[in-house]
Amino acid sequence: MKTLDDLLGEGVSGRRVFVRADLNVPFDKANPGVISDDGRARAVLPTLIALRDAGARVIVASHLGRPKGAPDPAFTLAPVAARLGELLGSSVVFAEDTVGASASAAVEALEDGQVLLLENLRFNKGETSKDDAERGAFADELAKFADFYVDDAFGAVHRKHASVYDVPARLPHYAGGLVLKEVEVLKKVSESPEQPYVVVLGGSKVSDKLAVIQALLPKVDKLLVGGGMCFTFLKAQGHEVGKSLLEAEMISVCADLLEQADGRIVLPVDVVAATEFSADAEHDVVDVSDIPADRLGLDIGPKSTALFAEAVAGAKTVFWNGPMGVFELAPFAAGTRGVAEAITKIDGFSVVGGGDSAAAVRTLGLDETAFGHISTGGGASLEYLEGKTLPGVAALEK
């Protein structure tokens, strides 16, 4: 696939470049409009700065959240435009629609070295439509704005959406540095990981991670399971899990995986069990064989954290996706922090698989540079490791 460097070598001064970015940033629930983690915005800065400094007229597009194909003030990108301007050190023009009058006027008025952010792509039904014609019609409108297309939104490349899959078919297209780096890293951990290879999985549901577990299990030395998903595995071992998160339909699947793993799946031995899902809830550390019927596990316990840290310590490759507990609530953050800190200390290559794991690194104040790579795309990372074709990557390879 052609790269951003190839495009810059061709010359972009005075040319309009459409950049598909991933600015799907989280907001502070207590303070609407305040971005709680700008990691994804910072990740695309090198591409935007390179194009801006080369004199391109940069048109940035992204989705935010899951609006229903129509404008919704709760999902406007206006606060993101303001933050992006702060990060770039120069104002970012904001269009109040995606392909309407505001966007058209803003594109027409763009000057060399200016950056424009379009309103949320998902305010248009065509962006996510499963109908090729409807999606294509929206892609036609977007493509009219630009001379070139750059995809630097790895967090969206697993979606067959207009701005990801159809627009590059209509314009000369290039992969941004972020997409190239992500593919390079994930190819390394999926095809040629240096052993010992340890995978750490957390998050809520086994069903969300089943395919990646099945894909990775033959390749790993240890697979450590924490987060809400561990309780279905513990139930499969015969433990009672109280009011903890449980996917009853997955118990037999977990039992089969444990049998196939032959000891390579490592589960918590203790958990932090609380009376309710709240930072103020009464909570205690209990062994997994003694979880009270009226409590739910919200973090792995200290023995489990030490067990996981020990398993990670000798690894040459670690892939981590999913927190060990509800790290957003202080009483239930220790497991995620302890395992993350252990990963930073390995004498090898570590990958944080995006999503909540990347957010945890920043929320807990951990040193981002201590990890080999922090992905910007949780779902895309997992689908790549499952062996799926990513539509956005496939589009860039054509």
Q: Which residues are catalytic?
A: 40, 205, 355, 379
CA-based max dimension of the chain: 67
Strand residues in the chain grouped as ranges (E): 16-20, 57-61, 92-94, 115-117, 148-151, 173-175, 197-201, 222-225, 265-266, 270-274, 283-287, 296-300, 317-321, 349-352, 373-374
Q: What does the block give as tokens for 328?
A: 């957003």
161 is in an annotated binding site: no
28 assigned to a ligand binding site: no
Half-sphere exposure of 398 (CA within 13 A, CB side): 14
Angle subtended at Cα 123 by Cα 122 and Cα 124, rounded to the nearest 5 degrees = 80
296 is in an annotated binding site: no
Residue 19 forms beta bridges with which residues?
60, 150
- Per-residue exposure over 352-390, b if at least 16 CB sit within 10 Å of its own CB, e if not: bbbbbbbbbbebbebeeeebbbbbbbbbbbbbbbbeeeb
The response to whether 42 counts as a known ligand-binding position is: no
Q: How far is CA 210 from the centre of its chain?
A: 17
Instruction: Tell whether residue 170 is among the known ligand binding residues.
Output: no
Q: Is 227 annotated as a binding residue?
A: no
Name the residue among 312, 323, 300, 302 with its Cα closest to residue 202.
323
Q: Tell whether residue 22 is among the known ligand binding residues.
A: yes
Whether residue 322 is annotated as binding a ligand: the answer is no
Which among 230, 228, 225 has a CA at the least distance from the CA of 307? Answer: 225
- Tell whether residue 297 is among the known ligand binding residues: yes
User: Which letter does DSSP use for residue 163 in this model?
Assistant: I
What is the chain's alpha carbon radius of gyration, rounded to the nearest angstrom? 22
Establish whether 338 is an annotated binding residue.
Answer: no
**What CA–CA distance (Å, rounded) separates 186 from 384?**
7
Binding residue per annotation — 190?
A: no
Residue count of the chain, please give it. Answer: 398
Residue type, position 251, single letter: I
2 is in an annotated binding site: no
Show the tokens assigned to 291: 């979880």
Check whether 354 is labelled as a binding-site residue.
yes
373 is in an annotated binding site: no
Residue 146 class from Cβ within 10 Å (0-12 exposed, 13-18 middle, 19+ buried)? Answer: buried
User: Is 239 annotated among the ligand-binding residues?
Assistant: no
208 marked among binding-site residues: no
Structural element, H or E, at residue 337: helix 334-344
The response to whether 328 counts as a known ligand-binding position is: yes
Which parts are annotated binding residues for substrate? 22-24, 40, 63-66, 122, 159
Which parts are annotated binding residues for ATP? 209, 297, 328, 354-357
Which parts are annotated binding residues for (2R)-3-phosphoglycerate? 40, 122, 159
Which parts are annotated binding residues? 22-24, 40, 63-66, 122, 159, 209, 297, 328, 354-357
